[in-house]
Amino acid sequence: MKGWISGVAVVLLAVTPAYAQQQQTEADQAKARQRISTMEGVLERAVTNGADNMLRQIKAVTSDPPVLTGQPEVRGFRLDGYGVFFDVEVPQLLLPVTWPLRQLYRDNTNRVVDDLRALMVSLNPPQREQVAQLVQRLQLQAPQSIAGQGPSAQTPRLADPAIDDPEARYTVEVKAALVDAMIENSQALAIGLDEWLTVAARDNVQVDPLIRGDRAEFSTIIFRVRGSDLSAFRAGRITIDDVRKKVEVREY
């Protein structure tokens, strides 16, 4: 009996370290997954913040802004020997049906205003004043992208990226928000100096099942930054502007 008990004790002593190691490994994996999940939320909020920045600019000049087709979705993975990869689905920007008409009206009004301003140079003071008043009335009636400018013929029209090309502005704002989120919130991911943090942002444009042969166009932008650059930023050896320049960007 004593021999049997001793044998059991030896087996238990041998199993206990292995069991403890397994438990520790599972705990580490759970924590790593939690960190990735947290970063998924950070990137989703970054997309939302970028969209909000763009929509805020448009709402300042029109009561009929674009809308988003859904919410951003992010999935992250750790790739052994490479680093951490995040797949980001960016909601599509849907312009109002009236947007092309608004753009056409604005462009036509801009041309008329430009012609009148050019004409003012050759007019006498009373005539110039009359034309200036006409220009002001047109500006008040036109979309606000040209309103607020003086009647001088030398005053150029100021471009408004958010109004002139909302989709391009949307892309710019989301890209900037994602890059800053990668830089400022990646410390918990414990990315090695030789590893990469990669984010692939792609449109979540859906194929229309009611249209035969529909092939929705979509694009993907890939951002990646080395762990060594992130480490240098956190240590204060480089600024956030420096590390932004080190982020590699590829578009497909």
pLDDT, tens digit, 9 for 90 and up, residues 97-132: 666 555 555 665 666 667 677 777 777 787 778 778
pLDDT(32) > 90: no
> Which residue pairs, CB below 8 angstroms and at least 24 apart, start in 74-82?
74/40, 74/41, 74/43, 74/44, 75/40, 76/36, 76/37, 76/39, 76/40, 77/36, 78/32, 78/36, 82/195, 82/196
Contact 198, 85 (CB under 8 A): yes
**Does this model's pTM top 0.85?**
no
Residue 4: what pLDDT? Answer: 47
The span from the CA of 13 to the CA of 92, in Å, is 59
The percent helix, strand, coil of the chain (3-state, each to 5) is: 55, 15, 30
Tell me the pLDDT tens digit for each residue of 37-89: 999 999 999 999 999 998 888 887 677 778 888 899 999 999 989 999 999 99
Q: Give residue for tokens 């830089």.
A: 183
Domain range list for the chain: 31-96+163-251, 99-159
Give me the mean pLDDT over the 138-161 stretch: 48
